[in-house]
A and B are shown apart, each in its own frame.
Chain A
Amino acid sequence: MVAADDFEIAGRRFGSRLIMGSGGYPNQQVMLDALEASGTEVVTVSIRRVSLEGYSESMVDLIGSRYTLLPNTAGCESVRDAVLTAELAREALETDWVKLELIGDRETLMPDGIQLVEAAEQLVKSGFQVLPYCTDDPILCQRLVDVGSSAVMPLGSPIGSGMGICNPFNLEMIVRRSTVPVVCDAGIGTASDAAQALEIGCDAVMLNTAVSRSNDPVSMAAAMRRAVEAGRLAHRAGRIPRRRYAEPSSPQLGLIGS
C-alpha cells in the first residue's frame, strides 16, 4: 500500500481528501451518520443560514467538537457582505479559515470572479486563510493565488446540479499550474465524479448535495469516501496513455501452436 498520503492546506494536515457540506440532509441524525461514513475531517457550515450560537442540539453543538468547521459565505453577493460574514464567523467559531463564496446571481449561483479577487485580497490582508469557490478558469485561479489564497476551489459544474465535472481539461490545467491545493467543489453527482476529480489531480473534493439528497445519504457518503480514495490512488499510480487502437496485454507472436 501507499504510505501516508496526507494533504495540507495552510499548514494543516488532513488524512481525508473529502470535504463535506452540512446542508439539505433529511435530518441531523442522518447528517451525523453520513459525515461519519464519509471519513471527512472538514465540514463546511453556512454562516448566514445557521445560528452560530452553540445552543443545545444546534449544528455547531453537534459537529463542532468532532470536525474542523469551515465557515462559508454562501448567499453573499457583494465584497462587503462576504467580508462581514467572514468576520462574524471568525468571531463566533474562533477560526480564521473561510470558504469564500461570492455569487454573481441567484439563478446560476455562479461565482463573481471580479468581486472574488477583491474580497480574497481584503480577507487575506486581515489575516484569514481564504479558500475561494470559483469558476474553473485557470487565469482566475491564478489571480486568486496572486492575492494570497490558501487554496482554490474551482467548480465541476453549477452548485447542486449533479452534472459532474463538465470541463475536465480546465480543471487539469488549473491543477498543473497551481502552487496551492486545488479542491474541486460543486457539481458532484455521484461517486465516479468524485473519483474523477482526484484522478485529474485535484488535492481534494468538496461535495454536499450528492450525498445529502440521495435516497440513502449514509451509503452515498461511504461510496464517496471510497471514490476519493480510489481516485487518489489511481492518480498516484498513473493512468496509461490513451491509444486509438487495441494493444494486447501479452505478446501475440510466438504463441504455442503458431
Chain B
Amino acid sequence: MSVHFAGSRSRDRPRVAIIGAGVSGLGIGWRLAAAGCTVDLFERNFAGGGASWAAAGMLAAGVEAEPGEEALFRLNRMAQQLWPEFRSELEAESRRDIGYRDDGTLVVASTRDDLEQLRHVATFQAGIGVELEWLTAAEARRREPCLRAGLAGAVFSPHDHQVDNRRLAMALKDAALARGCRLHEARTVDAVDLEAGRLRGIVVNGERHRADIVINAAGAWANRIDGVPEPCRPPVRPVKGQMAALRMDRSHPIATRVIWGPNTYLAPKADGRLLIGATVEERGFDDDLTAGGIMAVIEAAWRVLPGIEELPVDELWAGFRPTSRDDAPVLGASGLDGLLLATGHHRNGILLAPVTANLLAELVLTGRTDPAIDAFGLDRFRRVSHAGAAS
C-alpha cells in the first residue's frame, strides 16, 4: 500500500507536532508532510538516535513469533508485505540506499536440547502460518559455510529479511525534510500543553509550541511526558539491550544472511558490519556496557559462528527497546483529544515502520483507525487490568 493524498492543501490540514524522531516519528512526519500538513518533529537526541540507531534491522515477523502473540504476528506479517513498496518509495524520495536485503533468515540449533527447543518453537510458528524449511546440518553449512561444525539442525525462513536500520533512519530524515518537515534536534519535550483539559500543543524548553495534533512517538521515554493525564499514558518502559558490531572482510564476509542461534542473532550488513546481539535487561535507563553483557553477546554468537574470534570489534553499544506491557505497539488514540500514540514497539519498531507511518498518517488525515491496528490501542490495557485472567 502507498499513501497518496493528491491535491491536498496545507490550510485544510492539521498542524502536527511529533515527539520523537525515530523511525516511527520520522515515517509519520514524512507521510503527513507529503499530504500537506505542517509538521514539527522534536527529538531529545539526534534524528534516529534512539532505539532506531541501536537496533539490528531485522524484519523478522516469522522467526520471532511467540506463543500468545498471534495478533502481533499478523500485524508484523502485514508490515513485511508493505516493506518492498515502502522501501522503493523511500529510496526514491531520499535518494539513499537503505540496505534492504531479502535473502531470508537461518535459525540454527547447536545441541540436541536446542533442537528440541527449535522443534517446539517451529511447530508453533508453522501452526500460525510461518513458512519454514527444515535443513540438515550439511544443508545449513552449504548456505553458510562458516557455521560451526556439528550443528544439530536448522530451519530456513524465506520471508524474514533485513534492512540497515541506521540508513533507514537517515533516509526517513532526508525524505521528511524534503517534504518540508521541520526537525528540532536536541530538544526534549517537557510536557503537553493543556488549557482547561484541552490539548493546545506541547511545551519545549519552557516554550509553548501550538499544534492541533500531537503524536507521542517518544519510544522508551513515551510515558515520561508531563501534563498527560494518567489514563492517557502508554505503559511503556525501557528494556536494555547490549550489542556489538564486528568488521567482516567485505569481499569474504563470514555470514551472508541473518542467522539466529541459541540466545543470539547475527545480522551481516552490506558495509561489512556484522551486528550481534542482544541482551534483554530490565535495568531502567542504565546504559552501562557490562563485561558480562558483552561476553554473553559475543560468546553466544561465537558458538554459532566461531570465525568471529578473528574479527575486529567495530562498535559496542547499549540501547533501550520501548517495550509495552504486552510487547506489542501502542498505536492510535490516547483518550485525550488530539493526542495520538505511536510507541511501545519493543523489538519490532524497524519492521513495523511502514505500518506505523501509513496508518498513523491515515488516522490523522481521515480520523479513521485502520482495522489492522484496532487491537493495538491503549484501551486494551484498561480492558485487561481489571478483568484478570482467573477462571
- A-side residues, CB < 8 A to B, are 26-30, 32-34, 36-37, 39, 49-51, 53, 55-59, 62, 214-218, 222
Contact = CB atoms under 8 A, between A and B. Distances in A.
B388 A36 contact: yes
Given A26-B67, A29-B326, A215-B67, A58 B237 contact: yes
A220 B4 CA distance: 47
B284 A26 contact: no
A58 B284 contact: yes
B369 to A, nearest CB: 21
A57 B235 contact: yes
Contacts of B224: 56
Contacts of A217: 67-68
7 nearest A-B residue pairs (beta carbon)? A57-B237, A29-B326, A33-B389, A27-B327, A215-B67, A36-B388, A28-B325
A241 B388 CA distance: 41
B173 to A, nearest CB: 29
Contacts of A33: 384, 388-389
A68 B384 CA distance: 22
Contacts of B388: 33, 36
Contacts, number: 70
B325 A29 contact: yes
Interface-central residue, A27, A34, A36, by most chain B CB under 10 Å: A27
A121 B327 CA distance: 42
Nearest to A57: B237
Contacts of B328: 27
Contacts of A34: 389
A204 B124 CA distance: 32
B284 A27 contact: no
A57 B223 contact: yes
Given A34-B389, A36-B389, A57-B223, 18 more contacts: A26-B66, A27-B69, A28-B327, A29-B325, A29-B326, A29-B327, A29-B381, A30-B68, A33-B388, A37-B391, A49-B281, A50-B282, A57-B236, A57-B237, A58-B284, A62-B325, A215-B68, A218-B68
A59 B282 contact: yes
Contacts of B124: 215
Contacts of A56: 223-224, 237
Contacts of A57: 223, 235-237, 325
